[in-house]
Every structure is written in structure tokens, then in C-alpha cells.
Structure 1
Amino acid sequence: MDRFRNTRQPDWDWWGKLWPTPGETLRELGLESGDTVAEIGSGNGYFALPAARIVAPASVYALDIDESLLAELSHLADQQAIENVTVLTGDARELSQHLPEPADVVLIANTFHGIDEPDTFVQQAYESLRSEGRFIVINWTDRPRETTRIAGEPRGPPTELRLSPEATERTVLDAAAFALDETVELPPYHYALVFER
């Protein structure tokens, strides 16, 4: 299985500078108690753990291809007494095969630009959702990398991999029968698109 391009897990220190309140961001995007969530490219849980607090007692399925990051996520969940996170090792392009139940929300944060075969992944996201479920894509803006600085250093994917909201929308809508529900600006360097099945 090929790894996604340019998806190194960020250091939590600068991640915290970029996303100081990840739970508030998720609530702004419509996450609420009772939503079953599948997070793609969850890494060590920067979004999965606050998502689990929001949706409890519903489940958060944290999917990643890096077993060491998932082990760290499991450890952090244990430390924080979060019991509704299930880690899944696997490729997002085979998402429906990994989930034990359909999700209310499929979330992908900061890694959509790095997926090979995005059409396959988007179709899998669609098939993994319940009727009227939501697919949330959080993406870096398509500004040059040297202008997206955190703690004085350029951060995020290479400029050539970045997608505008319009390009992300087109990729998703061309691949599956989603409808765009809303576009949300997430300063300083991100946007989110919320699609409905």
C-alpha cells in the first residue's frame, strides 16, 4: 500500500498554534453528540480525541496507515479516559471495508491533497456514510507555502499540491453524488467544505 504524499504528522506544539481549539472547529463544522465519525488520516489523534468527546457515546473510528501513530492515539485515549475511539489501520481508498458500521460523518483534515486516486477515496467516503451523512474536507488554502507560516517557519504541503476550494469541490462532486452544503473559512490558512450524501 502506497503512503499518501506529504502527510507527516505535525509536531503537537505547532499544531496547537494552528488549531488551538480543535473541538470548537469541529463544532463549527456541525459535529454534535451522537454522530458516528470516521476520521481519515487521524494520525495520533489531534482531531479524533476532541471529536470523541463531542460525539460520545457514539464512536469515532480513527483510520491511518501508520500503526505507530495509532498506537500513540490509543495511549492518549487511555490516558484521557476516552473510551469511544477505535483505531483502524488501513488505506482510505478501502474505507468501507474497514468500518464496522456506516458513519454519520467522514472527516479528512489536512491530507486530502496527498491522496492518490482521490476519486476512489471520495466514492469510498460516500459509500461509508449513512443517508444524509456528511463528508467534511478540511484543506490548506492554495496560497504559496512560504506565506503559510507558523512560529516563523513555512508549514503545510508544497505549493503545487494545494487545492483551491473550487478544485476540491469539483474533485468531490465529480467522484460521487454529494451535494455541497457549506464552505467555511478557517483562518489563518485553511478552509472546510461540508458535503451531504
Structure 2
Amino acid sequence: MDRFQNTGQPDWDWWGRVWPTPGATLRRLGVAPGDTLAEVPCGNGYFALPAAQITDPGTVYALDVDESLLAELATLAEQQGIENVSPIQGDARDLTEHLPEPVDTVLVANTFHGIEDTAGFVREAFGALRPGGQFVVVNWQDRPREETTVTGEPRGPPTELRLSPGATESAVLDAAAFSLAELVELPPYHYALRFRRES
């Protein structure tokens, strides 16, 4: 299984510079105690692990194609005493096949720009949610890559792959019967859109 275009897994220190407080970010995005959540793809758990701490006892399904990253996530969960995260090896484009239940939140962070079949993926996210659930897309801002620097180096996807909030909104709303719930600014370089599945 191939990855989405232009995706990879930065190291933990790199993520920490971009997202110093992932738990606080997740709470701003509506993640709450008792929720079930699917992060796709989850990498080594930089968001999935703090999400599990918030949602406990609700399960966080952490899905990725990379078994080595999932193994790292499982090790970190054990070290941190997190028991409600469920690593799943699989392709996010087949999300509904991999989840054992509909979830309250589907989170896709920093990878939406690299999805070739955006409409197909959005429909999978819709199908994975319970009625009233939310689909959260976190994107890099549509600014030139040379303006989004981390430790003095340009970071994030190439400029031509970046999506404005409007383009992301259109891609989601054109593909499935979501409604837009909220635009959340995430300085310095990101934003999130929260979509609601009404039925």
C-alpha cells in the first residue's frame, strides 16, 4: 500500500516545535472525554496518544499503512500507560472496512493535501462516523513553503499542493452530506475545518 502524496513521518522533536501542546489543540477541535476517534493516518501517535488520554475510556483507533510506525505507537502507549488506543494496520482509503464501530470523530492531520481521490476518502470518513459525528481536517496554510519554517528550514508540503480553507471546504462538501461546523485557526502555520455529519 502506498502513502498519500508527499507524506512522511517527521521525528517527535520536529512535531513538538510545530505542535507544542497537541492535547490542547485536540480539545479546541472538539475532542472530548468518552468520544471514540479515528486518526488516519496516525503515524507514530503524536495526536493519537494525547487524543486517547482525552477520550478515555473512549477508544482511539490509530490507523496507518506503516507497521513500524504502529509498533512505535504501541510501545509509546505502553510506556505511558495508555490502554484505550487501538493500532490498526490498513489503508485510510478503506477506513470503514477497518473500524469495528462508527466513531464520534475522524481526524486527518497534515495529509489531506496528498490524497489523490479526495472525494472517495471524504465518503469513507462520512461512512465511518455516527450521526452527529465530526470530520476534522487539519491543513497547512496555503502560504508559500518558504514562509512556513521550522528550526530555520522551510517545512510542510510544496506550495502547489497546499489548500485554502475554501478549497478544502468545497472538496468535503461536494463529496458527502456534511455541514461546516467551524473554521479553527491554528497558528503559526495551520488551520482546521470541523465538519458535522447530520444524519
TM-score for the superposition, normalised by structure 2: 0.98
| 2:63 matches 1:74 | no
| 2:42 matches 1:42 | yes
What does residue 19 of structure 1 align with? Answer: 19
What does residue 193 of structure 1 align with? Answer: 193
How many aligned residue pairs are there? Answer: 197
| 2:62 matches 1:62 | yes
1:185 CA drift (Å): 0.4
Identity of aligned residues (%): 69
CA RMSD of aligned residues (A): 0.6
Quote the Cα distance in structure 2 between the aligned partners of 1:3 and 1:52. Answer: 24
Aligned AA (2:26) = L
Query: After TM superposition, which residue ranges in structure 1, 4 or more long, deviate above 6 angstroms?
Result: none
1:2 CA drift (Å): 2.7
Quote the Cα distance in structure 1 between the aligned partners of 2:115 and 2:77. Answer: 27
What does residue 106 of structure 1 align with? Answer: 106
1:95-174 matched pairs, under 5 angstroms: 95-174=95-174
**Cα-to-partner distance string for 1:153-184 (whole Å, 9 max, x where unaligned):** 00101111110000000000000000000000
Aligned AA (2:110) = N
Quote the Cα distance in structure 2 between the aligned partners of 1:11 and 1:161. Answer: 22
TM-score for the superposition, normalised by structure 1: 0.99
Aligned AA (2:62) = A
1:6 CA drift (Å): 1.1
3-state SS of the aligned residue for 1:188?
Answer: coil
1:60 CA drift (Å): 0.1
3-state SS of the aligned residue for 2:34?
Answer: coil
Quote the Cα distance in structure 2 between the aligned partners of 1:156 and 1:69. Answer: 20
List alignment gaps of at least 5 residues for structure 2.
none
